[in-house]
Amino acid sequence: MGYILGIESSCDETAAAVLKDGRYILSSIIGFQWDIHSKYGGIVPELACRRHIEVIYPIVNEAVEKAGIKLSELSAVAVTSGPGLIGALLVGVSFAKALSYSLNIPLISVNHLEGHLWAVNLTHRVQKPFIALVVSGGHTNLYMVKDVGDYKLLGNTLDDAAGEAFDKVSKILGLGYPGGPAIEKCAESGDADAIALPRGLLKKGGFDFSFSGMKTAVLSVIKSRYSYAHVDDISEILCGEDQLRSDIAASFQKAVIDILVLKSLSAVQKTGINRIVLSGGVACNKLLREKMKELEVKEGITVYIPEPKFCTDNAAMIAWVGYQYYKKGIFSDLKLNPDAQSSIG
């Protein structure tokens, strides 16, 4: 029982949320930073840290106020301590430590990936065990999840993460950052079978992923069509080539989704666990959600996907995991340091 404040600042979102009794989301505030990163085509870590410092206090305040409680009523503060950008993590962890010390409440360290794994529980009651696919800008991890804290990593990406591949291909196509929503929109008017792209590591089996070959293949497709041109700026070449750009976006999106869906299905077949949880920013993708949901009808698998606002980075998911550790009395002390590379399972 109690009010848990969650704080998330691992990448380019500054977020704070208050959860009551581990079930009721009283507030979930997210400060986005697209305005400062979009012109660089990706996240600039130093700029991300500075913005976190500027907004963390007002965002935490807003979350507490919107929850209708006072800071002194908080039972604990849960914070993302990794993985992520070290400077960005440091802002959230330092702020949470200061709150824990001044309010004399427990400090709870939460792994960002663990937050994504359980985000769906904010709105659904998921039966355990389950297969979980976390697809974000930094990770493409397939897990077998038995309980909170009991994870087995089945496979992950050997190169780019799925979201990173969306972001890179979007940059090539001149569609901007973040790439996922931009590619999804552009793909609407494209033919997903127009361009043949490799499905990395699909035939080889296993649960690892590879997306970097797909990005190279996209570049080769464009270069092969414009061999006369010196390809310094592909996006310029694509000016006036809206159909080609949409066909590439649609074909790329389909190729990534094929891999994600088939690998998840094969994890179900191998483990005999017929529940899948999909999460992370890429899980906002409508076609991916649709194709995963089709597994329910075609394969009899139960598929859980959080609402899009809980797929991307948020602090409610951190507070939810924090509450589980709060119940068990698993706390950190003020020596807690962020760990940019931390992992689970």
State CA 145 to chain mean position distance: 17
Q: Give how many residues touch Zn ion by CB under 5 A.
A: 2
Window contacting ligand KG4 (CB under 6 A); options: 124-132, 158-166, 191-199, 230-238: 158-166
In the window 176-205, what residues touch ligand KG4 (CB under 6 A)? 178-181, 184
DSSP assignments along 272-301, one per residue = ---EEEEESGGGG-HHHHHHHHHHHHHH--
Nearer to ligand KG4, 106 or 180 (CB): 180
Give residue 250's identity as a one-letter amino acid code.
A
CB of 178 vs ligand KG4, minimal distance in Å: 4
Q: Are 127 and 275 a contacting pair, CB within 8 Å?
A: yes
Q: At what angle do helices 242-271 and 179-187 cross, to 10 degrees?
A: 110
CB 151 within 8 A of CB 344: yes
- 125: which 2 tokens? 């009651």
Comparing CB distances to Zn ion, the nearer of 199 and 289 is 289
CB 226 → ligand KG4: shortest distance, Å?
Answer: 26
Number of neighbouring beta carbons within 10 Å of residue 215: 21
Residue 82 makes contact with ligand KG4 by CB under 6 A? no
Q: How far is the CB of 27 from ligand KG4 (least distance, A)?
A: 19
- Contact call for residue 284 and ligand KG4 (CB under 6 A): yes
Write down the least CB distance from residue 116 to Zn ion, Å: 6
Main-chain dihedrals φ then ψ at residue 187, nearest 5 degrees: -70, -20
The torsion angles phi and psi of 296, rounded to 5 degrees, stand at -65, -45
For residue 136, state whether it binds Zn ion (rule: CB under 5 A).
yes
Q: How many residues does the chain have?
A: 345
Position among 137, 190, 306, 345 found at the interface with ligand KG4 (CB under 6 A): 137
* 306 contact choice in ligand KG4, Zn ion, none (CB below 5 to 8 Å, kind-dependent): none
Q: Give the torsion through C-alpha atoms of 160, 164, 167, 172, to 10 deg.
A: -10
> The tokens 């409440």 sit on which residue?
105
Interactions with Zn ion, residue window 231-260 (CB under 5 A): none
Q: Which token pair is 81? A: 């301590």
Q: Does 11 bind ligand KG4 (CB under 6 A)?
A: yes
Binder among 217, 313, 316, 325 for Zn ion (CB under 5 A): 313
Among 285, 305, 310, 319, binds ligand KG4 (CB under 6 A): 285
Contact string (CB under 6 A) for ligand KG4, positions 226-265, x = contact: ----------------------------------------
| Structural contact between residues 327 and 108, judged by C-beta atoms closer than 8 angstroms | no
312 sits near ligand KG4 (criterion: CB under 6 A): yes
Q: Give the whole-angstrom CA distance, residue 217 versus residue 222.
A: 9
| Cβ distance to ligand KG4 smaller for residue 119 or 237 | 119
Question: Rounded CA gap, 50 and 220, in Å?
Answer: 38
Interface stretch with Zn ion, choices 133-141, 256-264, 266-274, 288-296 (CB under 5 A): 133-141
Q: Residues interacting with ligand KG4, by CB under 6 A?
A: 11, 136-138, 163-164, 166-167, 178-181, 184, 280-282, 284-285, 312-313
